[in-house]
Amino acid sequence: MDHVLTLIAPPGGISTATLHAARDALAALGAATGTPDWLAPDEAADLPFSGLAAEQADAAARVALAGAAVDIIAQASAGRRKRLLIADMDSTIVTTETLDELAGQAGIKDRIAAITKRAMNGELDFEGALRERVGMLAGLPVEAMQRTWEETELMPGARELVATMRANGARCALVSGGFTFFTGRVAALVGFHEHHSNTLLEAEGRLTGHVADPILGRNAKLVTLKRLAAEEGIGLDATLAVGDGANDLDMIQAAGLGVAFRAKPVVAAASRARVDHGDLRALLFAQGYRVGEFAAG
């Protein structure tokens, strides 16, 4: 079988009936289907198929499983395991938007979060929105960043995702429109090989309200994906990119496996693969890893 449809859900979310419904939907369109293969009991399974494009299989399975809390990823069987991971940080590797949380230290979280939401949904220019939000933090003591960090939580599955891909020889990079203060700490905690982001400027123990140039935004994420792939001597088909906001969309669309993770509507609609229900371990299941192969982070 030259393609595979992977079904992923929170633990206990996939039944044999769910698999049969997906298989019947593919068969109804003339696809030949193989025996389902459980990657994790009742949580993730592969359904091999051929004779149908991945996009058609994805659409058919979504109709058949409409209303079920199941993520669906259809792709070619060959080359599923990727050799480069490039991941966004905010609302992807960590559960929050760190800039919004930092704004909470200044008592203006709601004001800044409203701008963040529009920027992440592609309604505002990322660079301009970033400069505007950072400007609103002028004078905030730098200690507020440490307090924000202490309240930051990792997304479930983040450590396993990076540890497993590293254990299998992949290069793992954190690439964020956020700030080095946070990406450096997240990269060290999770195990990324490297991190790339923006730098908040400070003077006399307070934020100046400015960010260092050049700003790492949407195009810079795509450029970083291409540069790291070239350094590894691999094609973009061997890369995995994951993120949730509009500034992630170009790298998601360019990667061999680009995943919109609990993404904003404009990003989910424009991505070939998305995860709405599972955690970051879903990216391992999508690559064909069995739960027994996961490395502890």
Report the catalytic residues.
88, 90
What is the distance between the alpha carbons of residues 230 and 276, in angstroms, rounded to a whole number? Answer: 31
Residues, the chain, total? 297
Q: What is the H or E stretch that residue 275 is in?
A: strand 273-275
Question: Quick one: tokens of 200?
Answer: 């908040």
CA–CA gap between residue 175 and residue 272 (Å, rounded): 20
Alpha carbon 21 to chain centroid, angstroms: 28
| Backbone angles phi and psi of 191, in degrees to 5 | 110, 15
Map residue 203 onto helix, strand or coil. Answer: strand
Tokens of 138: 């002028």
Quote the tokens at residue 160.
């396993």
CA distances from 123 to 4, 28, 70, 119, 262 (A): 35, 40, 29, 5, 18
Alpha-carbon torsion, ordered 41, 44, 48, 49, to 10 deg: 130
Q: In whole angstroms, what is the distance from residue 280 CA to residue 278 CA?
A: 7
